[in-house]
Structure 1
């Protein structure tokens, strides 16, 4: 399926975005069915029921880097197609499996499928597109992830209204995605110039090394950003439950929390749509400084919030931070990674993304024990986010005042890769 002359069509773009919609869907689609699953298996512990949601993320963290390396060796399209097939089969397996251990095995393999989708779709976008177009598509990818969670979680909830088993059928959407991958995508050449290069030039390209140290900084930034972001879906509902103003719709504060989380998701999606224009104009250090400041201010406002107006401002700020974070990290990876290493680089991206999610749940425990309330917890993490913004602000100042470095590391430079 390799073709150096392949140019992505509108259909290619569509199915890349549909594949991106599945990336954050690991546990979200069946989460509304968890109470029904618990009732169907009364002997199962609460911990094992919770693993139905969390186990896919663990599988992604374990297998993401391996699948990224594999995609560099055997081809990104091949790994993507296999991953979507695994996603579909393993995801829907809960419909016909009859025990919690068997369902959990299926959920683990669902995570393996998602890991392959993360690695390959991000790498394919970098290979298929350049410059401003690449930044715009990566922004759309981030927006598609957020929209996918919203749409698929609602769909899973509707199917759960039929039966808990029906909720697992949402993963059959993978059949459509698989057909689209096979029909609209082709394997990109490892380097488009490789076919035309002289033998000496090919050797020089083969001497390129995997940029482990620069990528580590990008991965740490992604890890910390997602650690902060995942405080929202995991702890924000508890904050709302203790807020008198949140009872505007009665005692059902879960509905209020869901509405505000949806507002944050919309802010994130909107930023993703316009990300191409932002990335073209601003240095990545500027964007990451704004990202961490948005996280910090949003979380601090939640710490002080006593009204729904302040809560709304806070969730929008956190949503802006998330909307900027993922496409910025992806464009950063694209800028510093030789194309032949993109698969493993994106594998590291998927690992950092999901370890941040796990670490968020663990990091909360000592902080809550220390500060006692959810308001103080959000305030503490907000202060941490503001401190994390300082190194990028300092780096930005140094970059602008260093005459030996170009003023802006823009996507125009990335397009020259």
Structure 2
């Protein structure tokens, strides 16, 4: 009998380091976007933005396939290959000379990120149970937020050297690949033998769809910040007090957003069980609304700082809540595919966000008004969860309601 693999602290460390690459892996070079626009003056702003959004499209197109593949051949081989692709394709922008070649590299980068998302989320659910799982999923969300801090601040610093140097941040994947190979083993496969007459387990499509939809909409809101915040800062007079290096200024503020998200993740496992997911999601969309509207009205750096922190808090609540939702309703033999759906929803929201920006900004005319429009949309999205929360709170005795805590 094979002894099941027990994850060590080193295993957890490298799982979290891999998770750092998930949320902002495609947007690590966001602070360099205005500089890349200057380097390719014939390209439109929308085309330049594809540098950030093409990885998201690649993830949306390949996430389900890669998730199913990890269920079939193993999660560790897929994770290792994905981290390798992440490193090579990510830093390719440093060497490539044409915008079209850079965009191809960005699409391939997205395939690597898709594999990282699918496998890290599934491995956490396989390695950990109960309260430990909720705590580690909170740590995963914290790591994603820390990835924003590290990648955006480092990307901003490197972009201050040259826009090409910003792409070198992806070489961090080499260290993570070594850690994956040294500290992780394939989890034991779930015994799916059934007793006579027991119903066959199927993929829980209907229970997962609301969670996927929530994640999709939440990341449409969130991803407005890394794609358009650099241009907002470049047009903000108050930002000039920090100098003319707007890439570094952008990186600092986006890093603060990631730090806020990390802080939520660190405490999530301790407090989330006290609240139903309706409450947590209501709070997340309210924070999105206040933060995005704050950016729309911002005339001072203090307002900008508070606003990006609120957006980070919102994302820090949203991510582990959805991951716990998925873990609660998905049999282990389908975790790779369910995590693939998570990656599709996460990144399709990012890609559609960029497409939605084009007609909206044509109507509202300014970046400030664009943030205001998305902020109002966030408040609207909070309403159904607020109503569901109230309905559950005042449900009549004896009426069946979902009484599981927010992690589920």
Query: Which one of the candidate residues 272, 279, 282 is aligned to 2:275?
Result: 282
> Which residue of structure 2 lines up, in the alignment, with residue 208 of structure 1?
201
Q: How many angstroms does 1:329 deviate by?
A: 0.6
Residues in 2 aligned to 1:185 and 1:390: alpha-carbon distance in whole angstroms:
42
Matches within 5 A, 1:17-416: 17-31=16-30, 50-97=49-96, 99-157=98-156, 167-191=166-190, 194=191, 200-201=194-195, 204=198, 207-249=200-242, 256-400=249-393, 401=395, 403-405=398-400, 408-410=403-405
Question: In 2, Cα distance between the equivalents of 1:135 and 1:129?
Answer: 9
- The equivalent of 1:7 in structure 2 is 6
Q: Determine if contact 2:159/2:248 at 8 Å carries over to the other structure.
A: no
2:22 is paired with a residue whose SS is coil
Contact 1:48/1:100 (8 A) holds in 2? no
**Distance change (3 Å), C-alpha of 1:3 and 1:406:** farther
Instruction: Verify the 8 A CA contact 2:145 2:260 in the aligned structure 1.
Output: no
Distance 2:212 2:361 in 1: 26
Q: Deviations over 1:350-409 (max 9, x none)?
A: 111111111222222333333334333333322221121111122222333253446731
Seen in structure 2, the aligned counterparts of structure 1 residues 394 and 159 have a Cα distance that, compared at 3 Å, is closer
Contact 1:218 1:329 (C-alpha < 8 Å) held by counterparts: yes
With over 3 angstroms needed to count, the CA separation of the structure-2 counterparts of 1:252 and 1:270, relative to structure 1, is: same
Q: How many residues align?
A: 406
| Aligned counterparts of 2:100 and 2:245: Cα–Cα separation in 1 | 33
SS in 2 for 1:186: coil
Instruction: Please tell me whether the aligned partners of residues 145 and 257 of structure 2 are also in contact (alpha carbons under 8 angstroms).
Output: no
Say which SS state the counterpart of residue 8 (structure 1) adopts. coil
CA contact (8 A) 1:26 1:57 kept: no
Tell me the TM-score normalised to structure 2 length: 0.87
**Contact 2:291/2:311 (<8 A) preserved:** yes
Counterpart contact for 2:292–2:374, Cα < 8 Å: yes
Q: What is the RMSD of the two structures over their aligned residues, measured on CA atoms?
A: 3.1
C-alpha spacing 1:382/1:167, structure 2 compared with 1 (3 Å): closer
Deviations 1:303-330 (A, max 9, x none): 4444444333322222211110111111
8 A Cα contact 2:157 2:251, kept in partner = no
Cα distance in 1, alignment partners of residues 366 and 101 from structure 2: 38
What is the CA–CA distance in structure 2 between the aligned matches of 1:240 and 1:3, rounded to whole Å?
Answer: 56
Preserved contact between residue 3 and residue 186 of structure 1 (Cα < 8 Å): no
Over 3 Å counting, the alpha-carbon distance change for 1:273 and 1:364 in structure 2 is same
